Amino acid sequence: MVDRKQVKQSRRWVIKIGSSLLTDNGRGLDVAAIERWVSQIDVLMKNGIEVILVSSGAVAAGMSRLGWAHRPDTVRELQAAAAVGQMGLVQTYEQAFQAYGIHTAQVLVDHDDLSNRKRYLNAQSTLKTLLQLGVVPVVNENDTVVTDEIRFGDNDTLAALVANLLEADLLVLLTDQQGMYDSDPRNNSEARLIDGVPASSSTLDDMAGDGGKLGRGGMVTKVRAARLAARSGANTVIVGGRIDDVLVSLHQGKDLGSLLLSDQRPQAARKRWLAGQLQSRGELVLDDGAVKVLTSSGKSLLPVGVVSCKGAFTRGDMVVCKSLSGKEVARGLVNYSASETQKILGQSSENVESLLGYKNEEELIHRDNLVLV
Ligand code: GLU
């Protein structure tokens, strides 16, 4: 049996619920099932776990609201159905969470939002703030303007990108199967659940088979999602969403579903990922105090510690941080553009708002987005 200690110790979970689980045999949303997951999420939160929900089901819910018996062929009709269904989806979550006094927030994003550096930082700041407020973000793809998940993923990839964005420890992909099998259980009675395998393992590719109907949300996209999540150190569990008390049982360390492991420690993985992401677009020169704070206490970089800046960077770009003697000490994603940085460098964070007329974050580079070199 695979040791589930890592799952048990995970503190930030991204939970993705697939379309097939959310609809009541084509008769609209399965409200009772949603209420069961919500009551389990309440238990997780009472145990100190932060939860981000990634929910599909907008297309399916929209189809039933519009009285469509079959999934339409055109992407524009799918998008229209998603726009209609999203209303019902968020209403249902909102109501279900209200019973536990938990607020929810609707977050519609797309893959570009999570790779464009500026939007990446904006999404990260908002989602982290929501988590600090004890709110459960309910994330879906913005299906009106993009079609990646409608066509291929049923939100598997999106959920992994959200796990990267928030440095989640665990990605839970709830599905209508028990987990991922080493061969098709419909043809092979000997088929066994895969468990405790590194997400990077190439054996998973053979086992994932084809993507199922239309290639949407099959095991192929789930393996891919697990690999993406592993980049920032998150483990992934693919597990049956209809198993009684599935989420609470996972938290208790029960051996359910398929655990695909990240072979890197979250911190190291995160930093490597960040470092490999981008070329630097500029340079900040730090005073001795700031260099010391960064290198010895792992804190964020504040504008007050910056002496000068070079380059034409914008918010979200990677910049190099150097000491007064020109030695590179760190790299990170900067919260303010070069022209904004010119105005606030050397200043205390309290003055940022009066100098710029607005304030994003206190830090010039947040410690989560900073890599020491
Ligand atoms: N974002 C879509 C949804 O929530 C993806 C699922 C699908 O294509 O059915 O409905």
With H, G, I as helix, E, B as strand and everything else as coil, classify residue 146.
Answer: coil
Which residue among 78, 154, 157 is best mutated to probe the pocket of ligand 1, counting the most ligand atoms within 8 A of its Cβ? Answer: 154
Amino acid letter, 168: A
Residue nearest to atom 4 of ligand 1 (CA): 56
Which residue among 59, 63, 68, 84 is best mutated to probe the pocket of ligand 1, counting the most ligand atoms within 8 A of its Cβ? Answer: 59
How do strand 197-198 and strand 104-109 relate by DSSP bridges? unpaired
Separation of alpha carbons 261 and 170, rounded Å: 10
Separation of alpha carbons 93 and 106, rounded Å: 10
| Other beta carbons less than 10 A from residue 16's beta carbon | 30
Q: Are 326 and 318 in contact (CB under 8 A)?
A: no
Spacing, Cα 112 to ligand 1 middle (Å): 17
Task: Map out the domains of the chain as residue ranges.
Answer: 5-266, 278-372
Cβ within 8 Å of residue 113, ≥6 positions away: 119, 120, 123, 142
* Residues in the ligand 1 pocket, defined by CB under 6 Å: 19, 56-60, 82, 140-141, 143, 149-150, 154-155, 216
Amino acid letter, 47: N
- Sequential pLDDT tens for the chain (373 residues): 577 999 999 999 999 999 889 987 767 899 999 999 999 999 999 999 999 999 999 999 999 999 998 889 999 999 999 999 999 999 999 999 999 999 999 999 988 887 777 788 889 999 999 999 999 999 999 999 988 878 777 899 999 999 988 989 999 999 998 999 988 877 888 889 999 999 999 889 878 765 444 335 578 899 999 999 998 889 999 999 999 999 999 999 999 999 999 987 666 666 666 666 557 889 999 999 999 999 998 899 999 999 999 999 999 888 999 999 999 999 899 999 999 999 999 999 999 999 999 888 899 999 888 888 8
For the CA of 158, the closest atom of ligand 1 is 1
With H, G, I as helix, E, B as strand and everything else as coil, classify residue 173.
Answer: strand
Report the predicted TM-score, pTM, of the whole model to 2 decimal places.
Answer: 0.84
Spacing, Cα 148 to ligand 1 middle (Å): 10
**Fold observed for domain 5-266:** Carbamate kinase (3.40.1160)
Residue found under tokens 């990446």: 120
Among candidate residues 222, 103, 236, 112, the one with its CA nearest the CA of residue 163: 236
Find out if CATH 3.30.110.30 is the number for domain 278-372: no
Q: Are 83 and 143 in contact (CB under 8 A)?
A: yes
